Structure 1
Amino acid sequence: MTPASRDGRPDRKRQPSKSRGQAKKPTQLSKKPHRKGSRPNAQTGAVRLNNAKPSRHVAPPVENDGAAHHVEDGVRLQKVLAQAGVASRRGAEELIAAGRVDVNGEIVTSQGLRIDPNTAIVRVDGARVTIDEDMQYLALNKPKGWQSTMSDEHDRPCIGDIIGERVMAGQRLFHVGRLDADTEGLLLLTNDGELAHRLTHPSFEVPKTYLVSVRGEVKRQLGRTLKDGVELEDGPVKVDSFSVLEVHEGRSVLRITLHEGRNRIVRRLMDQVGHPVTRLVRTDVGAVSLGDQRPGSLRVLNSKEIGQLYKAVGM
Protein backbone atom coordinates (compact mmCIF):
# COMPACT_ATOMS: atom_id res chain seq x y z
CA MET A 1 0.00 0.00 0.00
CA THR A 2 1.04 3.57 -0.59
CA PRO A 3 2.09 5.21 2.73
CA ALA A 4 -0.05 8.11 3.93
CA SER A 5 1.27 11.58 4.70
CA ARG A 6 0.50 13.43 7.94
CA ASP A 7 -2.64 15.02 6.50
CA GLY A 8 -4.00 11.61 5.46
CA ARG A 9 -3.41 11.98 1.72
CA PRO A 10 -1.33 9.38 -0.15
CA ASP A 11 2.31 10.35 -0.32
CA ARG A 12 3.71 9.14 -3.65
CA LYS A 13 7.05 10.91 -3.42
CA ARG A 14 10.15 8.88 -2.72
CA GLN A 15 13.10 10.37 -0.96
CA PRO A 16 16.18 10.71 -3.20
CA SER A 17 19.01 8.29 -2.47
CA LYS A 18 22.10 9.63 -0.79
CA SER A 19 25.13 9.94 -3.05
CA ARG A 20 28.36 8.21 -2.19
CA GLY A 21 31.54 10.17 -1.55
CA GLN A 22 30.09 13.63 -2.19
CA ALA A 23 32.59 16.41 -1.63
CA LYS A 24 29.96 19.09 -2.21
CA LYS A 25 26.22 19.37 -1.79
CA PRO A 26 24.48 17.79 -4.81
CA THR A 27 23.17 20.24 -7.36
CA GLN A 28 19.41 20.22 -7.99
CA LEU A 29 18.95 22.50 -10.98
CA SER A 30 15.72 21.33 -12.57
CA LYS A 31 12.33 20.16 -11.39
CA LYS A 32 11.37 18.66 -14.74
CA PRO A 33 10.15 15.09 -14.16
CA HIS A 34 11.80 12.14 -15.78
CA ARG A 35 10.23 11.00 -19.04
CA LYS A 36 7.25 8.63 -18.83
CA GLY A 37 6.76 9.64 -15.21
CA SER A 38 9.37 7.20 -13.83
CA ARG A 39 12.53 8.00 -11.94
CA PRO A 40 16.03 6.54 -12.45
CA ASN A 41 16.98 3.87 -9.94
CA ALA A 42 19.85 5.23 -7.86
CA GLN A 43 20.59 1.81 -6.37
CA THR A 44 21.06 0.36 -9.86
CA GLY A 45 23.20 3.35 -10.79
CA ALA A 46 25.44 2.79 -7.78
CA VAL A 47 26.60 -0.56 -9.14
CA ARG A 48 26.34 0.11 -12.88
CA LEU A 49 29.55 -0.40 -14.87
CA ASN A 50 31.21 2.78 -16.12
CA ASN A 51 32.18 2.34 -19.80
CA ALA A 52 33.61 5.81 -20.25
CA LYS A 53 36.59 6.34 -22.53
CA PRO A 54 39.01 8.35 -20.37
CA SER A 55 40.19 11.73 -21.49
CA ARG A 56 43.88 12.17 -22.31
CA HIS A 57 43.95 15.25 -20.07
CA VAL A 58 42.84 14.37 -16.57
CA ALA A 59 42.90 17.88 -15.11
CA PRO A 60 42.72 20.53 -17.85
CA PRO A 61 42.25 24.22 -17.06
CA VAL A 62 38.62 25.07 -16.28
CA GLU A 63 37.58 28.37 -17.78
CA ASN A 64 34.64 28.97 -15.43
CA ASP A 65 33.98 29.42 -11.73
CA GLY A 66 33.90 25.67 -11.02
CA ALA A 67 30.12 25.37 -10.77
CA ALA A 68 27.62 23.19 -12.63
CA HIS A 69 25.63 25.94 -14.35
CA HIS A 70 22.47 25.21 -16.31
CA VAL A 71 22.76 26.22 -19.98
CA GLU A 72 19.31 26.81 -21.49
CA ASP A 73 20.33 25.91 -25.04
CA GLY A 74 22.78 23.23 -23.92
CA VAL A 75 22.66 19.41 -24.11
CA ARG A 76 21.17 17.30 -21.35
CA LEU A 77 23.85 15.75 -19.17
CA GLN A 78 22.55 12.21 -19.64
CA LYS A 79 22.74 12.63 -23.42
CA VAL A 80 26.35 13.84 -23.19
CA LEU A 81 27.24 10.77 -21.12
CA ALA A 82 25.51 8.46 -23.59
CA GLN A 83 27.37 10.05 -26.51
CA ALA A 84 30.63 9.55 -24.61
CA GLY A 85 29.92 5.81 -24.42
CA VAL A 86 29.55 5.79 -20.63
CA ALA A 87 26.22 3.95 -20.71
CA SER A 88 22.84 4.03 -22.41
CA ARG A 89 20.73 7.14 -21.86
CA ARG A 90 18.78 5.36 -19.12
CA GLY A 91 21.98 3.99 -17.61
CA ALA A 92 23.49 7.49 -17.58
CA GLU A 93 20.42 8.75 -15.71
CA GLU A 94 20.95 6.08 -13.06
CA LEU A 95 24.61 7.07 -12.69
CA ILE A 96 23.52 10.67 -12.16
CA ALA A 97 20.90 9.63 -9.60
CA ALA A 98 23.53 7.65 -7.71
CA GLY A 99 25.76 10.72 -7.36
CA ARG A 100 28.59 9.34 -9.50
CA VAL A 101 28.70 12.22 -11.99
CA ASP A 102 30.14 15.68 -11.44
CA VAL A 103 30.26 18.74 -13.67
CA ASN A 104 33.05 21.25 -13.10
CA GLY A 105 33.80 19.58 -9.78
CA GLU A 106 30.23 19.67 -8.46
CA ILE A 107 28.19 16.47 -8.04
CA VAL A 108 24.91 16.55 -9.95
CA THR A 109 21.88 14.38 -9.19
CA SER A 110 19.28 16.27 -11.26
CA GLN A 111 18.17 14.81 -14.59
CA GLY A 112 17.33 18.22 -16.04
CA LEU A 113 20.79 19.81 -16.17
CA ARG A 114 21.81 21.09 -19.59
CA ILE A 115 25.49 21.78 -20.23
CA ASP A 116 27.79 22.97 -23.00
CA PRO A 117 29.83 19.78 -23.73
CA ASN A 118 32.55 21.90 -25.37
CA THR A 119 33.39 23.75 -22.16
CA ALA A 120 32.01 21.73 -19.24
CA ILE A 121 34.35 19.28 -17.48
CA VAL A 122 32.37 16.08 -16.90
CA ARG A 123 33.65 13.25 -14.74
CA VAL A 124 32.27 9.84 -13.78
CA ASP A 125 33.69 8.28 -10.62
CA GLY A 126 36.33 11.01 -10.64
CA ALA A 127 37.64 10.26 -14.15
CA ARG A 128 37.00 12.76 -16.92
CA VAL A 129 35.25 11.48 -20.04
CA THR A 130 35.47 12.69 -23.61
CA ILE A 131 33.13 12.53 -26.59
CA ASP A 132 35.87 12.91 -29.18
CA GLU A 133 34.71 10.32 -31.70
CA ASP A 134 37.63 10.98 -34.04
CA MET A 135 40.21 9.20 -31.89
CA GLN A 136 40.91 5.58 -32.89
CA TYR A 137 42.77 2.95 -30.83
CA LEU A 138 43.17 -0.47 -32.43
CA ALA A 139 45.07 -3.70 -31.81
CA LEU A 140 46.29 -5.69 -34.82
CA ASN A 141 47.62 -9.24 -34.76
CA LYS A 142 50.25 -8.84 -37.47
CA PRO A 143 50.82 -12.06 -39.39
CA LYS A 144 54.30 -13.37 -40.17
CA GLY A 145 55.67 -12.12 -43.47
CA TRP A 146 53.72 -8.85 -43.43
CA GLN A 147 55.48 -5.47 -43.49
CA SER A 148 54.85 -2.88 -40.77
CA THR A 149 54.11 -0.20 -43.35
CA MET A 150 51.01 1.36 -44.86
CA SER A 151 52.20 0.57 -48.40
CA ASP A 152 55.05 -1.37 -49.99
CA GLU A 153 56.81 -0.49 -53.23
CA HIS A 154 57.53 -4.17 -53.89
CA ASP A 155 53.86 -5.15 -53.49
CA ARG A 156 54.59 -7.27 -50.43
CA PRO A 157 51.69 -7.69 -47.99
CA CYS A 158 51.61 -4.87 -45.43
CA ILE A 159 49.38 -3.65 -42.64
CA GLY A 160 47.99 -0.99 -44.98
CA ASP A 161 46.21 -3.82 -46.79
CA ILE A 162 44.38 -4.74 -43.58
CA ILE A 163 43.22 -1.24 -42.67
CA GLY A 164 42.66 -0.08 -46.25
CA GLU A 165 38.92 0.32 -45.81
CA ARG A 166 39.40 2.53 -42.76
CA VAL A 167 41.92 4.69 -44.64
CA MET A 168 39.53 4.97 -47.59
CA ALA A 169 36.85 6.12 -45.16
CA GLY A 170 39.07 9.03 -44.16
CA GLN A 171 40.70 7.68 -41.00
CA ARG A 172 44.36 8.62 -40.67
CA LEU A 173 45.93 5.73 -38.78
CA PHE A 174 49.56 4.97 -38.11
CA HIS A 175 51.34 2.16 -36.29
CA VAL A 176 52.92 2.52 -32.86
CA GLY A 177 56.45 1.29 -33.49
CA ARG A 178 56.91 -1.64 -35.82
CA LEU A 179 57.58 -5.35 -36.02
CA ASP A 180 59.97 -6.81 -38.58
CA ALA A 181 58.43 -8.93 -41.33
CA ASP A 182 59.25 -12.26 -39.63
CA THR A 183 57.84 -11.19 -36.26
CA GLU A 184 54.18 -11.79 -35.48
CA GLY A 185 51.80 -10.42 -32.92
CA LEU A 186 50.52 -7.27 -31.30
CA LEU A 187 50.86 -3.97 -33.12
CA LEU A 188 48.91 -0.92 -31.95
CA LEU A 189 47.35 1.49 -34.44
CA THR A 190 46.02 4.95 -33.62
CA ASN A 191 45.60 8.52 -34.80
CA ASP A 192 46.51 9.82 -31.33
CA GLY A 193 49.92 11.24 -32.13
CA GLU A 194 50.92 12.18 -28.59
CA LEU A 195 50.10 8.74 -27.20
CA ALA A 196 51.94 7.02 -30.05
CA HIS A 197 55.02 9.19 -29.50
CA ARG A 198 55.15 8.45 -25.80
CA LEU A 199 54.59 4.72 -26.22
CA THR A 200 57.58 4.49 -28.55
CA HIS A 201 59.89 6.89 -26.71
CA PRO A 202 62.44 5.01 -24.57
CA SER A 203 62.17 7.47 -21.67
CA PHE A 204 58.70 6.15 -20.78
CA GLU A 205 59.94 2.55 -20.63
CA VAL A 206 56.68 0.89 -21.67
CA PRO A 207 57.22 -2.89 -21.34
CA LYS A 208 56.70 -5.27 -24.24
CA THR A 209 56.38 -9.03 -23.83
CA TYR A 210 57.33 -11.71 -26.39
CA LEU A 211 56.99 -15.44 -26.77
CA VAL A 212 60.33 -16.55 -28.18
CA SER A 213 61.18 -19.92 -29.74
CA VAL A 214 64.93 -20.47 -29.97
CA ARG A 215 67.41 -23.11 -30.98
CA GLY A 216 69.11 -24.99 -28.19
CA GLU A 217 68.06 -26.08 -24.73
CA VAL A 218 68.22 -22.94 -22.63
CA LYS A 219 69.49 -23.18 -19.08
CA ARG A 220 67.53 -21.29 -16.45
CA GLN A 221 70.62 -19.39 -15.33
CA LEU A 222 70.50 -17.57 -18.66
CA GLY A 223 67.88 -15.36 -17.07
CA ARG A 224 70.49 -13.90 -14.72
CA THR A 225 72.72 -13.03 -17.67
CA LEU A 226 69.90 -11.32 -19.55
CA LYS A 227 68.77 -9.34 -16.50
CA ASP A 228 72.33 -8.22 -15.74
CA GLY A 229 72.72 -6.98 -19.30
CA VAL A 230 74.25 -8.10 -22.60
CA GLU A 231 76.48 -5.87 -24.70
CA LEU A 232 75.39 -5.37 -28.32
CA GLU A 233 77.01 -3.31 -31.08
CA ASP A 234 74.72 -0.35 -30.32
CA GLY A 235 74.95 -0.59 -26.54
CA PRO A 236 73.91 -2.86 -23.66
CA VAL A 237 70.42 -4.31 -23.25
CA LYS A 238 68.69 -5.78 -20.21
CA VAL A 239 65.44 -7.73 -19.94
CA ASP A 240 62.84 -6.90 -17.30
CA SER A 241 61.68 -10.48 -16.85
CA PHE A 242 62.58 -13.89 -18.27
CA SER A 243 61.06 -17.34 -17.95
CA VAL A 244 61.57 -20.69 -19.65
CA LEU A 245 58.23 -22.17 -20.72
CA GLU A 246 59.42 -25.30 -22.52
CA VAL A 247 62.64 -27.18 -23.30
CA HIS A 248 62.39 -30.09 -25.70
CA GLU A 249 64.58 -31.84 -28.27
CA GLY A 250 67.04 -29.08 -28.98
CA ARG A 251 64.69 -26.12 -28.80
CA SER A 252 63.26 -23.86 -26.09
CA VAL A 253 60.27 -21.56 -25.71
CA LEU A 254 60.77 -18.46 -23.58
CA ARG A 255 58.79 -15.48 -22.35
CA ILE A 256 60.77 -12.25 -22.34
CA THR A 257 59.67 -8.76 -21.24
CA LEU A 258 61.76 -5.67 -21.93
CA HIS A 259 61.16 -1.99 -22.55
CA GLU A 260 63.71 -1.58 -25.32
CA GLY A 261 62.47 -0.50 -28.74
CA ARG A 262 65.60 -0.85 -30.83
CA ASN A 263 65.44 -2.58 -34.21
CA ARG A 264 65.27 -6.39 -33.97
CA ILE A 265 66.38 -6.16 -30.36
CA VAL A 266 65.09 -9.58 -29.21
CA ARG A 267 66.61 -11.41 -32.18
CA ARG A 268 69.97 -9.70 -31.76
CA LEU A 269 69.95 -10.32 -28.02
CA MET A 270 69.31 -14.05 -28.36
CA ASP A 271 71.87 -14.36 -31.17
CA GLN A 272 74.42 -12.81 -28.85
CA VAL A 273 73.83 -15.42 -26.12
CA GLY A 274 73.95 -18.33 -28.57
CA HIS A 275 70.26 -19.12 -29.04
CA PRO A 276 69.04 -17.88 -32.46
CA VAL A 277 65.33 -17.12 -32.70
CA THR A 278 63.16 -19.38 -34.84
CA ARG A 279 59.82 -17.75 -34.05
CA LEU A 280 58.94 -14.47 -32.35
CA VAL A 281 55.47 -13.30 -31.26
CA ARG A 282 54.78 -10.06 -29.40
CA THR A 283 51.95 -10.72 -26.95
CA ASP A 284 51.73 -7.54 -24.85
CA VAL A 285 52.38 -3.81 -25.07
CA GLY A 286 51.97 -2.32 -21.63
CA ALA A 287 48.62 -3.50 -20.29
CA VAL A 288 47.25 -4.42 -23.74
CA SER A 289 47.38 -8.15 -24.51
CA LEU A 290 46.98 -10.05 -27.76
CA GLY A 291 44.88 -12.78 -26.15
CA ASP A 292 43.27 -15.15 -28.63
CA GLN A 293 42.96 -12.57 -31.40
CA ARG A 294 43.42 -14.31 -34.74
CA PRO A 295 46.24 -13.32 -37.15
CA GLY A 296 45.33 -10.47 -39.49
CA SER A 297 42.41 -9.28 -37.36
CA LEU A 298 41.75 -5.88 -35.79
CA ARG A 299 39.94 -5.07 -32.58
CA VAL A 300 39.08 -1.77 -30.91
CA LEU A 301 40.74 -1.21 -27.54
CA ASN A 302 38.32 -0.84 -24.66
CA SER A 303 38.22 2.14 -22.31
CA LYS A 304 40.18 0.32 -19.60
CA GLU A 305 43.02 -0.50 -21.99
CA ILE A 306 43.17 3.06 -23.30
CA GLY A 307 43.20 4.41 -19.76
CA GLN A 308 46.05 2.06 -18.79
CA LEU A 309 48.09 3.19 -21.79
CA TYR A 310 47.53 6.84 -20.82
CA LYS A 311 48.60 6.05 -17.27
CA ALA A 312 51.73 4.23 -18.41
CA VAL A 313 52.97 7.31 -20.28
CA GLY A 314 51.76 9.96 -17.84
CA MET A 315 48.86 11.34 -19.89
Structure 2
Amino acid sequence: MSEPEGIRLQKVLAQAGVASRRAAEQLVDQGRIEINGEIVSEQGRRVDPHRDVIRVDGRRIPPPREHQYLVFNKPRGVVSTMSDPQGRPTLSDYLGEHAGEGLFHVGRLDTDTDGMILLTNDGDFAQRMAHPSYELTKTYVAEVEGDLTEATRRRLASGITLEDGPVKPDLVKLGAGTGRRTMVTVVLHEGRNRIVRRMFAEVGHPVTALSRTQIGPVRMGRLRPGELREVTRDELGALLDAVKL
Protein backbone atom coordinates (compact mmCIF):
# COMPACT_ATOMS: atom_id res chain seq x y z
CA MET A 1 0.00 0.00 0.00
CA SER A 2 1.46 3.38 -1.02
CA GLU A 3 2.34 6.04 1.55
CA PRO A 4 -0.21 8.89 1.71
CA GLU A 5 0.96 12.06 0.01
CA GLY A 6 2.06 15.09 1.98
CA ILE A 7 3.19 15.67 5.55
CA ARG A 8 1.00 15.52 8.62
CA LEU A 9 -0.21 19.00 9.56
CA GLN A 10 0.86 18.56 13.17
CA LYS A 11 4.44 17.86 12.07
CA VAL A 12 4.54 20.91 9.82
CA LEU A 13 3.33 23.18 12.63
CA ALA A 14 5.80 21.67 15.07
CA GLN A 15 8.70 22.14 12.63
CA ALA A 16 7.62 25.77 12.11
CA GLY A 17 7.75 26.33 15.86
CA VAL A 18 4.05 27.15 16.04
CA ALA A 19 2.87 24.41 18.37
CA SER A 20 3.76 20.97 19.63
CA ARG A 21 2.01 18.09 17.89
CA ARG A 22 -0.39 17.71 20.81
CA ALA A 23 -1.11 21.45 20.87
CA ALA A 24 -1.64 21.37 17.10
CA GLU A 25 -4.33 18.71 17.57
CA GLN A 26 -6.06 21.02 20.06
CA LEU A 27 -5.89 23.89 17.56
CA VAL A 28 -7.65 21.66 15.02
CA ASP A 29 -10.35 20.73 17.56
CA GLN A 30 -10.86 24.45 18.26
CA GLY A 31 -11.23 25.28 14.56
CA ARG A 32 -8.27 27.67 14.59
CA ILE A 33 -6.40 26.28 11.57
CA GLU A 34 -7.15 26.99 7.91
CA ILE A 35 -5.70 25.33 4.84
CA ASN A 36 -6.25 27.18 1.57
CA GLY A 37 -9.07 29.16 3.13
CA GLU A 38 -10.95 26.21 4.66
CA ILE A 39 -11.17 25.40 8.37
CA VAL A 40 -9.53 22.08 9.21
CA SER A 41 -11.91 19.88 11.14
CA GLU A 42 -10.26 16.46 10.98
CA GLN A 43 -7.13 15.20 12.69
CA GLY A 44 -4.31 13.68 10.67
CA ARG A 45 -4.68 16.05 7.72
CA ARG A 46 -1.74 15.91 5.33
CA VAL A 47 -0.43 18.99 3.56
CA ASP A 48 2.20 20.12 1.11
CA PRO A 49 3.92 22.92 3.08
CA HIS A 50 5.39 24.37 -0.12
CA ARG A 51 2.04 24.68 -1.93
CA ASP A 52 -0.70 24.86 0.69
CA VAL A 53 -1.45 28.16 2.45
CA ILE A 54 -1.69 27.36 6.16
CA ARG A 55 -3.01 29.83 8.74
CA VAL A 56 -3.31 29.65 12.51
CA ASP A 57 -5.68 32.22 14.02
CA GLY A 58 -5.57 34.02 10.67
CA ARG A 59 -1.79 34.32 10.59
CA ARG A 60 -0.05 32.71 7.67
CA ILE A 61 2.59 30.09 8.37
CA PRO A 62 5.24 30.44 5.64
CA PRO A 63 6.69 27.30 4.01
CA PRO A 64 10.01 25.86 5.19
CA ARG A 65 12.70 28.31 4.17
CA GLU A 66 14.69 27.44 1.08
CA HIS A 67 15.86 31.05 0.78
CA GLN A 68 17.19 33.79 2.99
CA TYR A 69 15.12 36.84 3.94
CA LEU A 70 17.00 39.46 5.91
CA VAL A 71 16.46 42.96 7.30
CA PHE A 72 19.48 45.26 7.11
CA ASN A 73 19.86 48.66 8.74
CA LYS A 74 21.90 50.47 6.11
CA PRO A 75 24.20 53.14 7.56
CA ARG A 76 24.40 56.53 5.93
CA GLY A 77 27.19 56.63 3.33
CA VAL A 78 26.76 53.00 2.25
CA VAL A 79 25.84 52.44 -1.41
CA SER A 80 22.76 50.24 -2.05
CA THR A 81 24.67 47.82 -4.29
CA MET A 82 26.78 44.71 -3.77
CA SER A 83 29.87 46.28 -5.41
CA ASP A 84 31.01 49.76 -6.31
CA PRO A 85 33.63 50.71 -8.93
CA GLN A 86 34.48 53.82 -6.90
CA GLY A 87 35.38 51.73 -3.88
CA ARG A 88 32.68 53.11 -1.60
CA PRO A 89 31.21 50.93 1.20
CA THR A 90 28.46 48.60 -0.10
CA LEU A 91 25.89 46.20 1.30
CA SER A 92 28.22 43.24 0.74
CA ASP A 93 30.66 44.69 3.29
CA TYR A 94 28.11 43.91 6.02
CA LEU A 95 26.95 40.40 5.09
CA GLY A 96 29.30 38.57 7.45
CA GLU A 97 28.27 34.91 7.74
CA HIS A 98 25.72 35.44 4.94
CA ALA A 99 28.39 36.23 2.34
CA GLY A 100 28.29 33.76 -0.54
CA GLU A 101 24.54 33.09 -0.19
CA GLY A 102 23.68 34.97 -3.39
CA LEU A 103 21.85 37.76 -1.59
CA PHE A 104 20.67 40.88 -3.38
CA HIS A 105 18.72 43.92 -2.23
CA VAL A 106 14.98 44.46 -2.70
CA GLY A 107 14.72 48.12 -3.64
CA ARG A 108 17.33 50.63 -2.61
CA LEU A 109 18.05 53.70 -0.53
CA ASP A 110 20.05 56.79 -1.47
CA THR A 111 23.62 56.75 -0.23
CA ASP A 112 22.86 59.63 2.15
CA THR A 113 19.72 57.91 3.53
CA ASP A 114 19.97 55.28 6.26
CA GLY A 115 17.55 52.61 7.39
CA MET A 116 15.80 49.45 6.31
CA ILE A 117 16.63 47.41 3.25
CA LEU A 118 15.41 43.86 2.66
CA LEU A 119 17.93 41.32 1.36
CA THR A 120 17.05 37.96 -0.17
CA ASN A 121 18.14 35.30 -2.62
CA ASP A 122 14.55 34.52 -3.61
CA GLY A 123 14.11 35.94 -7.12
CA ASP A 124 10.34 35.41 -7.31
CA PHE A 125 9.82 37.19 -4.00
CA ALA A 126 12.06 40.10 -5.01
CA GLN A 127 10.28 40.47 -8.35
CA ARG A 128 6.87 40.62 -6.68
CA MET A 129 8.12 43.09 -4.06
CA ALA A 130 9.35 45.40 -6.84
CA HIS A 131 6.19 45.15 -8.96
CA PRO A 132 3.99 48.30 -8.89
CA SER A 133 0.88 46.18 -8.28
CA TYR A 134 2.19 45.07 -4.89
CA GLU A 135 4.04 48.18 -3.71
CA LEU A 136 4.08 48.09 0.08
CA THR A 137 3.91 51.13 2.32
CA LYS A 138 7.26 52.49 3.43
CA THR A 139 7.72 54.57 6.57
CA TYR A 140 10.37 57.29 6.80
CA VAL A 141 11.46 59.61 9.58
CA ALA A 142 12.82 62.88 8.20
CA GLU A 143 14.54 65.81 9.82
CA VAL A 144 13.82 68.91 7.74
CA GLU A 145 14.99 72.49 7.84
CA GLY A 146 12.82 75.12 9.48
CA ASP A 147 9.57 75.10 11.43
CA LEU A 148 7.21 72.96 9.37
CA THR A 149 3.71 74.18 10.17
CA GLU A 150 0.42 72.32 10.40
CA ALA A 151 -0.72 74.11 7.25
CA THR A 152 2.27 72.74 5.34
CA ARG A 153 1.67 69.28 6.80
CA ARG A 154 -1.89 69.39 5.48
CA ARG A 155 -0.64 70.53 2.09
CA LEU A 156 1.72 67.56 1.90
CA ALA A 157 -0.92 65.13 3.16
CA SER A 158 -3.44 66.28 0.56
CA GLY A 159 -0.92 65.67 -2.23
CA ILE A 160 1.48 67.82 -4.23
CA THR A 161 2.72 67.72 -7.79
CA LEU A 162 6.40 67.22 -8.62
CA GLU A 163 8.10 67.47 -12.00
CA ASP A 164 7.42 63.78 -12.67
CA GLY A 165 3.83 63.74 -11.44
CA PRO A 166 1.66 63.94 -8.32
CA VAL A 167 2.45 62.29 -5.00
CA LYS A 168 0.01 61.78 -2.12
CA PRO A 169 1.43 60.25 1.07
CA ASP A 170 -0.61 57.85 3.18
CA LEU A 171 0.43 59.76 6.31
CA VAL A 172 2.35 62.90 7.23
CA LYS A 173 2.83 63.32 10.99
CA LEU A 174 4.68 66.15 12.71
CA GLY A 175 7.14 65.33 15.47
CA ALA A 176 9.43 67.37 17.66
CA GLY A 177 10.66 70.74 16.42
CA THR A 178 13.21 73.31 17.52
CA GLY A 179 12.24 76.15 15.21
CA ARG A 180 15.32 75.45 13.11
CA ARG A 181 14.53 71.77 12.51
CA THR A 182 11.35 69.63 12.47
CA MET A 183 10.98 65.85 12.70
CA VAL A 184 8.33 64.41 10.37
CA THR A 185 7.08 60.84 9.85
CA VAL A 186 5.97 60.03 6.31
CA VAL A 187 4.24 56.87 5.07
CA LEU A 188 3.83 56.31 1.32
CA HIS A 189 3.63 53.67 -1.38
CA GLU A 190 5.79 55.65 -3.78
CA GLY A 191 9.03 54.18 -5.03
CA ARG A 192 10.23 57.04 -7.22
CA ASN A 193 13.80 58.25 -6.91
CA ARG A 194 14.44 60.52 -3.88
CA ILE A 195 10.69 61.05 -3.54
CA VAL A 196 10.72 62.08 0.15
CA ARG A 197 13.53 64.58 -0.30
CA ARG A 198 11.84 66.08 -3.35
CA MET A 199 8.50 66.39 -1.52
CA PHE A 200 9.97 68.46 1.28
CA ALA A 201 12.13 70.54 -1.04
CA GLU A 202 8.98 71.41 -2.99
CA VAL A 203 7.39 72.95 0.12
CA GLY A 204 10.55 74.79 1.16
CA HIS A 205 11.82 72.46 3.90
CA PRO A 206 14.90 70.56 2.61
CA VAL A 207 15.68 67.26 4.31
CA THR A 208 18.77 67.24 6.51
CA ALA A 209 18.54 63.59 7.63
CA LEU A 210 16.36 60.71 6.46
CA SER A 211 15.81 57.17 7.69
CA ARG A 212 13.48 54.38 6.52
CA THR A 213 12.07 52.55 9.52
CA GLN A 214 9.46 50.16 8.11
CA ILE A 215 8.52 48.31 4.92
CA GLY A 216 4.99 46.89 4.92
CA PRO A 217 4.60 44.78 8.06
CA VAL A 218 8.35 44.68 8.79
CA ARG A 219 9.69 47.14 11.36
CA MET A 220 13.32 47.98 12.00
CA GLY A 221 12.93 47.53 15.72
CA ARG A 222 16.14 47.73 17.74
CA LEU A 223 18.43 46.89 14.82
CA ARG A 224 21.46 49.17 14.93
CA PRO A 225 23.15 50.64 11.84
CA GLY A 226 25.16 47.96 10.05
CA GLU A 227 23.30 45.07 11.70
CA LEU A 228 21.31 42.27 10.03
CA ARG A 229 18.53 40.04 11.28
CA GLU A 230 16.32 37.38 9.75
CA VAL A 231 12.76 38.26 8.85
CA THR A 232 10.54 36.58 11.44
CA ARG A 233 8.02 33.87 10.62
CA ASP A 234 5.07 36.23 11.11
CA GLU A 235 6.72 38.98 9.06
CA LEU A 236 7.47 36.61 6.20
CA GLY A 237 3.94 35.22 6.24
CA ALA A 238 2.54 38.77 6.03
CA LEU A 239 4.95 39.69 3.21
CA LEU A 240 4.01 36.60 1.19
CA ASP A 241 0.35 37.55 1.59
CA ALA A 242 1.07 41.13 0.56
CA VAL A 243 2.71 40.09 -2.71
CA LYS A 244 0.27 37.21 -3.33
CA LEU A 245 2.83 34.39 -3.18
Please report how far the alpha carbon of residue 130 of structure 1 lies from its aligned counterpart in structure 2 after TM superposition. Answer: 5.2
1:195 and 1:73 mapped to 2: Cα distance? 27
Secondary structure of 1:292 counterpart? coil
Q: For the Cα contact (< 8 Å) 2:59–2:234, is it kept in 1? A: no
Find 1:308's aligned residue among 204, 222, 238: 238
| Deviations 1:124-171, CA, capped at 9 Å, x for gaps | 537775543312221111111111111112221111111153132xx2
Match of residue 115 from structure 2: 185
The structure, 1 or 2, with the larger RCO (C-alpha pairs under 8 Å, 6+ apart) is 2
User: Map of 1:172-211 to 2, 5 A cutoff?
Assistant: 172-211=102-141
2:189 and 2:53 mapped to 1: Cα distance? 34
1:130 and 1:258 mapped to 2: Cα distance? 26
Please report how far the alpha carbon of residue 173 of structure 1 lies from its aligned counterpart in structure 2 after TM superposition. Answer: 1.6
Match of residue 212 from structure 2: 282
Please report how far the alpha carbon of residue 260 of structure 1 lies from its aligned counterpart in structure 2 after TM superposition. Answer: 0.6
Match of residue 134 from structure 1: 66
Q: What amino acid maps onto 2:112 in structure 1?
A: D
Please report how far the alpha carbon of residue 209 of structure 1 lies from its aligned counterpart in structure 2 after TM superposition. Answer: 1.0
Match of residue 80 from structure 2: 148
1:283 and 1:205 mapped to 2: Cα distance? 16
2:86 and 2:244 mapped to 1: Cα distance? 39
Structure 2, gaps ≥5 residues long: none
Q: For the Cα contact (< 8 Å) 2:62–2:236, is it kept in 1? A: no
Percentage of pairs with the same residue:
45
Q: For the Cα contact (< 8 Å) 1:176–1:199, is it kept in 2? A: yes
Q: What amino acid maps onto 2:69 in structure 1?
A: Y
Secondary structure of 1:221 counterpart? helix
Going from structure 1 to structure 2, the CA distance change for 1:266 and 1:93 (only over 3 Å counts) comes to same
Please report how far the alpha carbon of residue 98 of structure 1 lies from its aligned counterpart in structure 2 after TM superposition. Answer: 4.3
2:147 is aligned with 1:213: no
2:228 is aligned with 1:298: yes
TM-score, normalised to structure 1's length?
0.66
- When the two chains are superposed, the root-mean-square deviation of aligned CA atoms in Å is 3.0
Going from structure 1 to structure 2, the CA distance change for 1:166 and 1:250 (only over 3 Å counts) comes to same
Find 2:197's aligned residue among 243, 267, 274: 267
Secondary structure of 1:134 counterpart? coil
| Deviations 1:67-100, CA, capped at 9 Å, x for gaps | xx9827986654443334434xxx1232124425
Match of residue 251 from structure 1: 181
Going from structure 1 to structure 2, the CA distance change for 1:202 and 1:296 (only over 3 Å counts) comes to same
Q: For the Cα contact (< 8 Å) 2:60–2:237, is it kept in 1? A: no
Going from structure 1 to structure 2, the CA distance change for 1:177 and 1:84 (only over 3 Å counts) comes to same
| Deviations 1:256-278, CA, capped at 9 Å, x for gaps | 11111011111111111111111
Q: For the Cα contact (< 8 Å) 1:80–1:117, is it kept in 2? A: no
Match of residue 23 from structure 2: 94
Secondary structure of 2:99 counterpart? helix
Please report how far the alpha carbon of residue 279 of structure 1 lies from its aligned counterpart in structure 2 after TM superposition. Answer: 0.3
Secondary structure of 2:166 counterpart? strand
Q: Which has the higher strand share?
A: 2
Q: For the Cα contact (< 8 Å) 2:104–2:119, is it kept in 1? A: yes
Going from structure 1 to structure 2, the CA distance change for 1:74 and 1:309 (only over 3 Å counts) comes to closer
Q: What amino acid maps onto 1:109 in structure 2?
A: Q
Q: What amino acid maps onto 1:293 in structure 2?
A: L
Structure 1, gaps ≥5 residues long: 1-68
Alignment length (residue pairs): 239
